[in-house]
Amino acid sequence: MRPPLLRRLLRRVASVAVCGLLPLLAAYPVPAAAAPAAPAAAGLQQVTGFGPNPGNLQMFAYTPDSVPAGAPLVVALHGCTQSADAYHTHSGWTEYADRWGFDVVFPQTTSANNPLSCFGWFDPAESTRGRGEAASIVQMVQYAKQTYGSDGRRVYVTGLSAGGGMTADLLAAYPDVFAGGSVASGLPAQCATSQAAASGCQTGPQKLSPAQWGDKVRNSYPGWTGPWPRVAIWQGTSDYTVRPANATALRDQWTDVWGIGQTPSGTQSLPGNTTRSVYADASGRSAVETFSVSGMGHGLPVNPGPGAEQCGSTAAYFLDTICSAYHTGVFWGLDKGAPGGGDGLPAPAGLKVTGITDTSASLAWNAVAGAASYAVFRDGTKVASTASTAYTDTGLTAGTSYRYRVGAADPSGAAGPGSSAVTATTSGGTAPARCFTASNYAHVTAGRAYTSGGRAYAKGSAQDMGLYNVFVTHTLRESPAGHFVIADSGCQAGSS
């Protein structure tokens, strides 16, 4: 493998020379002191001299040979007691970097910063704009843009546990740097501002309203009005290290920032006992998604195997349930099969949902000059090729959300980039009602209710359940999925 700095310079020289733009190389300076060191693992290279590095972090990068300049960049943050090498080896991100064509930066902290090698998500000196570890990570992004030619419009950050808490802080402090994020078993942005308060966040974050959580993001970069990053939230229901209430707080925080409600636009069952909930913006584009993995403890979901939706390998805190890297990458639009890149025709504009039934979704989009056909993709998988600018997808499941994108192809079949995604939720639904009897605290922890002003409210119906504590008990009835009503006087499961 060529050293990535040399390889990328050669690629950049070749690409700009073909376009007759060789003099523009001066616009992309490479820090003279920056140089890859010996690999920490196969394909993983340490980079030194990437910037002033106020957070005293180490930078490792995975840069596939086939990735051209202008590709997306993913920043992946390990959890406590882990390393960049472990995240590179087990998380699955390098597999999709090879398949879909993007670069990955793996920041690493050490025991010199924290005895357990945790990122300092709870320390304002490390987690706020322009300071400490957060500033070092952004310097790594700048290095990748200058050296690898990474597309500054498509930079994403993901992390597990303490890395997830730092991910949320980075999204709040640097919405101008990161287009999206994914928080796995992590904490809301600025949940704690001291190490003493950190354990309280882990076991149960502050009882704040969505607006109060949202203010923590808005106050991290005052004056920023958007666009905001798109955020995926991964959480195991049996996580006793970072309690599931944090996923609820994260959802409340980022849906409030986006100005959308806390009731999902739709839900979908995924492998590994995972429930995906979609929170779409006014245009129908998914802005926030939660992935609740039933029965999973504390860790990053992986699913070893050869399948297109499988990835990673099991180890401490890498749990065999579902490939979170695949579903997060699809959410961000990294998957080429959706499609995500190419030098062909421009992406179709104006994609919208024109109609739904319980088993179908109808789409329409604007024509692209020179297009011979259009490929329609549902949840990252191609489902149709059509010469028309409209398509009806059939055979769907009632009461389920599906994510669509469309790409244009020229007469040779070369496909260009995919459109912005829209979400269609089919009507109806035959799933039987379910009943849950538990304390208000347990209902909130399980995601069946939310808190505001010290009281609990049923998700969907917003019915007042009383004080948020373990002493008040209610029965909630769920129908349709994600919509709960108080049913203390009797709850018939299976009725509609």
In order of 276, 327, 469, the CA distances from 233 in angstroms are: 10, 11, 25
The strand pair at 455-458 and 449-452 is best described as: antiparallel
In a domain, residue 80? The reply is yes
74 versus 330: the higher-pLDDT residue is 74
Q: Which of 332, 360, 389 is the last residue of a domain?
A: 332
Contact 256, 392 (CB under 8 A): no
CA–CA dist 330, 311 (Å, integer): 14
In order of 462, 463, 479, 480, the CA distances from 494 in angstroms are: 22, 21, 9, 11
Average pLDDT over residues 202-223: 93
pLDDT, tens only, 35-67: 434 334 448 999 999 999 999 999 999 999 888
User: Does one domain contain both 60 and 193?
Assistant: yes
CB atoms within 10 A of CB 316: 11
In a domain, residue 258? The reply is yes
335 versus 77: the higher-pLDDT residue is 77
265 CB-contact burial (10 Å; exposed 0-12 / middle 13-18 / buried 19+): buried
In a domain, residue 496? The reply is no
Task: Kindly indicate the confidence band of residue 82, based on its pLDDT and cuts at 50, 70 and 90.
Answer: very high
CB atoms within 10 A of CB 357: 14
CA–CA dist 488, 492 (Å, integer): 11
What pLDDT is recorded for position 8?
A: 42
**Residue among 91, 117, 161, 479 flagged as catalytic:** 161
Average pLDDT over residues 300-323: 95
1 pLDDT exceeds 50? no
Side-chain-side CA neighbours of 117 within 13 Å: the count stands at 17
User: Does one domain contain both 201 and 233?
Assistant: yes
Contact 179, 171 (CB under 8 A): no
In a domain, residue 41? The reply is yes
Q: Which residues, 6+ apart, have CB-to-CB distance to 479 below 8 Å?
A: 431, 432, 433, 434, 495, 496
Side-chain-side CA neighbours of 196 within 13 Å: the count stands at 0
Q: What angle do CA 283, 423, 177 make, to 5 degrees?
A: 65
User: Does one domain contain both 393 and 478?
Assistant: no
Q: Which two tokens stand for residue 211?
A: 């607006």
Q: Which of 332, 367, 402 is the last residue of a domain?
A: 332
Largest CA distance in the chain: 76
Q: Which residues, 6+ apart, have CB-to-CB distance to 462 below 8 Å?
A: none
User: Does one domain contain both 368 and 223?
Assistant: no
User: Does one domain contain both 374 and 476?
Assistant: no
User: Does one domain contain both 482 and 361?
Assistant: no
User: Does one domain contain both 476 and 356?
Assistant: no
User: Does one domain contain both 219 and 83?
Assistant: yes
In a domain, residue 341? The reply is no
What pLDDT is recorded for position 425?
A: 85
What pLDDT is recorded for position 81?
A: 95
316 pLDDT exceeds 90? yes
User: Does one domain contain both 208 and 305?
Assistant: yes
195 pLDDT exceeds 80? yes
CA–CA dist 276, 232 (Å, integer): 10
User: Does one domain contain both 419 and 438?
Assistant: no
In a domain, residue 345? The reply is no
pTM: 0.68
In a domain, residue 296? The reply is yes
Average pLDDT over residues 383-387: 92
User: Does one domain contain both 244 and 199?
Assistant: yes
Q: Which residues, 6+ apart, have CB-to-CB distance to 392 below 8 Å?
A: 355, 360, 361, 362, 363
Each residue of 142-171: b (16+ CB within 10 Å) or e?
A: ebbbbbbbbbeebbbbbbbbbbbbbbbbbb
In a domain, residue 469? The reply is yes
Each residue of 432-470: b (16+ CB within 10 Å) or e?
A: ebebbebbbbebbbbbbbbbbeebbbbbbebeebeebee
User: Does one domain contain both 396 and 452?
Assistant: no
Q: Which of 372, 401, 425 is the last residue of a domain?
A: 425
Residue 161 annotated among the catalytic residues of the structure: yes
Domain count, the chain: 3
pLDDT, tens only, 425-484: 888 765 557 888 989 988 988 889 888 878 888 888 888 899 988 888 999 888 777 788
pLDDT, tens only, 105-120: 999 998 999 999 999 9
Instruction: Kindly compute the dihedral angle of the four CA atoms of residues 442, 443, 445, 449, in this order, to the nearest 10 degrees.
Output: -150
- Full residue range of the structural domain in which residue 474 is found: 434-486
Mean pLDDT score of the chain: 85
361 pLDDT exceeds 60? yes
CA–CA dist 237, 292 (Å, integer): 7
CATH of the domain at 390: 2.60.40.10
